[in-house]
Amino acid sequence: MSEKVKDPVCGMEVEKGRICSEYKDKKYCFCSESCKEQFEQSPEKYITDSSGCCH
Ligand SMILES: [Zn+2]
């Protein structure tokens, strides 16, 4: 059974453990290498942290 997680870049549901990246102790998974690259370029842009809103 594979766990589904949300690709923070495009919002697609993806299988955990394929293309993943860790950022601030959290693991994020992506549908493709290009989404991963986009995330790594500006992770803050894609992380929706409910505890914070605006900069
Ligand atoms: Zn994606």
Q: What's the whole-model pTM score?
A: 0.78
Distance from C-alpha of 10 to C-alpha of 16, rounded to nearest angstrom: 15
Distance from C-alpha of 40 to C-alpha of 7, rounded to nearest angstrom: 13
* Distance (Å) from CA 18 to ligand 1 centroid: 12
Question: Quick one: which of 44, 51, 42, 46 has its CA closest to 8?
Answer: 46
The mean pLDDT value for 13-38 works out to 93
* Chain segment 33-55, per-residue pLDDT in tens: 999 999 999 999 998 765 555 55
* Structural domain span for residue 8: 4-43
Q: How many domains does the chain have?
A: 1
* Distance (Å) from CA 10 to ligand 1 centroid: 4
Residue 20 covered by a domain: yes
Distance from C-alpha of 13 to C-alpha of 52, rounded to nearest angstrom: 24
Residue 19 covered by a domain: yes
